[in-house]
Amino acid sequence: MFSTLASFVRLTRAALTLARHDAILPAEYQSLYPAPARWLGSVMRIFRRRDLAENPGERLARALEKLGPSYVKFGQILATRSDVVGERFARGLSRLQDRMPAFGDSEAREILADELGQPVDQVFSEFGPPVAAASIAQVHKAVTPDGAVVAVKILRPDIEDRIARDIRTLSLGAALAERLSPASRRLEPRKFVETVSRSLTLETDLRLEAAAASELAEAAMVAEGYHIPTVDWARSTRRVLTTQWIDGIALSDIDAIAASGIDRAALATRLTRAFLSTALDRGVFHADMHGGNLFARTDDTVWAVDFGIMGRIGRSERRFLALILHGFLTRDYMAAARAHFAAGYVPARHSVEDFASALRAVGEPIFGKTADQVPMSRVLMQLFEITALFEMRLRPELVMLQKTMVQCEGVSRQLDPQHDMWGAAAPIVEAWMKRELGPEGRIRDLGEDLTRLHDALRKLPDAVDDWAEVGAQLKAGKLSLGGGPRLRPWFLRLAWLSAAAAAGAAITLAFG
């Protein structure tokens, strides 16, 4: 009870903080709101501070910084979508990506000494000031005694407690949204918060991030020009992560990218293909792909850092995703619609033909168009309307994939306003489809089926023993179902025959 009350107070504080920064219904967009929203915005501005930034995006960024790391993550996603929130608004939000206030050098050194069990001067021959600070950790540049230049990531003090409070508050907000707005239930706000909360909790153990970096480095080998820094395991602990230092230009610094002479269009294509290659081929992907976590080098390679949030997608989901993307790429909207139904994304009571027509209404206006020709905010609104019309519910297992796809496309659009995501994706999707649905994929399917069959056969003796025990109790009159009549011997014999038939079929399939 007390915990719920405290979360409600924090939720109220969050609303007031946003209102004080004029970040809920900014005055700059007053003329675009319907009448009730204009009235509500005017009431909220009674509470706003006087020393506000002129940029509404920066006002939102400052409000989110005050609210905590979980809220900052939301702002980082918006910062990549200038096509949705506007260039000026996104520019104001960009401070959330890697320019948050750092904590003190003495605190950083104290954490390092506690975690590594030695004074900092013994672990590193050089240890510099923070070069980047984000919502959960900050990064220092250092040199090891053997001369290796490394990046040292250190968690913020007490960050675990702050995230736990944020999660409780967001969970209460999601529960209230489902109760007060039945329409929101289709978006599964509580499951969405659970998914994000789980990833944030994992992000506070840098040992898991080190493992994620190692795993992603293996997956990145399938993507051309996409690299992950090497982990220094000897200098990594729960609160400290040490990796290879990367000299490059952050993709959030568009002016520096332009001045470097790097081919921005090729870079955008490489980024899109890197994301899809790792997700489809290996089922794992970097799930926090904002510009501050991605670096370009003059050799046209892309390097990713910060692996606190990793996305994973199962083979069946990857297959449905590829079928859906392939349907859009080939303008076969019926195939894309069938994939949605087969995956269970659309309730079976709806018409496949009607849904295919709705997908056509989304796909045809944007097919072959470059990013600067597509009003993405309008496309997203149309998609939202279609998902509502066909009662599509948010799939928690795809939350990270969808979020990252939005981020990745946003960064690619910032690099190249004419970026054609469909064109960039086509070779990756088509190659994966050939492997997955061709002979190689069929052989893999057969191997997985045989493995499942083998596991089932290994469990068969235990199942037979269980049936024998149940049969003995039924025969002795010691067991009945639901207080009703005791099972007769003929039913028991039928059960034995069914079990024997199933075992025989399994053995025949496996060895015949």
Question: Of residues 281, 288, 306, 416, which has the active-site annotation?
Answer: 288
The Cα-based distances of 44 to 41, 52, 74, 99, 267 in angstroms read 5, 14, 22, 29, 43
Residue 60 to residue 92: CA distance in whole angstroms: 8
Residue 46: its pLDDT value, please?
Answer: 72
Convert 111-124 to b/e letters by CB count within 10 Å (16 or more is b): bbeebbeeebeebb
Task: Give SS3 for 190.
Answer: helix
Task: Give SS3 for 142.
Answer: strand
Where exactly are the structural domains of the chain?
Answer: 2-98, 101-134+136-162+201-245, 248-437, 446-511
Burial class (CB in 10 A: 0-12, 13-18, 19+), 449: exposed
Tokens for 140, please give them: 């220092």
Task: Give SS3 for 285.
Answer: strand
Q: Which CATH superfamily is domain 101-134+136-162+201-245 in?
A: Phosphorylase Kinase; domain 1 (3.30.200.20)
Which phi and psi (to 5°) does residue 158 adopt?
Answer: 60, 20
Residue 57 neighbours by CB under 8 Å, 6+ apart: 79, 85, 86, 88, 89, 90, 91, 92, 93, 94
Residue 407: its pLDDT value, please?
Answer: 81
Q: What are the pLDDT tens digits along the chain (512 aa)?
A: 566 676 667 777 777 787 777 777 777 666 666 677 667 777 777 767 766 777 777 788 888 877 777 677 677 766 665 555 666 777 777 767 666 778 888 999 999 999 999 999 999 999 999 998 877 889 999 999 999 999 999 999 888 888 888 787 777 777 777 776 666 665 566 776 776 677 777 778 899 999 999 999 999 999 999 999 999 999 999 999 999 999 999 998 888 999 998 999 999 999 999 998 999 889 899 988 888 889 999 888 999 998 988 888 888 888 888 888 788 878 899 998 998 888 888 888 999 999 999 888 888 887 766 666 665 555 655 666 777 788 876 666 676 787 788 788 888 888 998 888 778 888 888 888 777 766 655 555 555 556 666 666 666 676 666 666 666 666 666 655 554 444 444 444 444 444 444 444 444 444 44
The Cα-based distances of 401 to 197, 416, 474 in angstroms read 15, 22, 51
The Cα-based distances of 436 to 191, 236, 307, 433 in angstroms read 30, 38, 28, 5
Where is 127: in which H helix or E strand?
A: strand 126-133
Q: Are 300 and 225 in contact (CB under 8 A)?
A: yes
Give the DSSP letter of residue 105: H
Convert 240-256 to b/e letters by CB count within 10 Å (16 or more is b): bbbbbbbebbbbbbbee
Is 288 annotated as catalytic?
Answer: yes
Residue 71 to residue 162: CA distance in whole angstroms: 11
Tokens for 312, please give them: 């994973």
Edge-to-edge strand list for the sheet holding 149-155: 126-133, 137-143, 149-155, 240-244
Residue 477: its pLDDT value, please?
Answer: 64
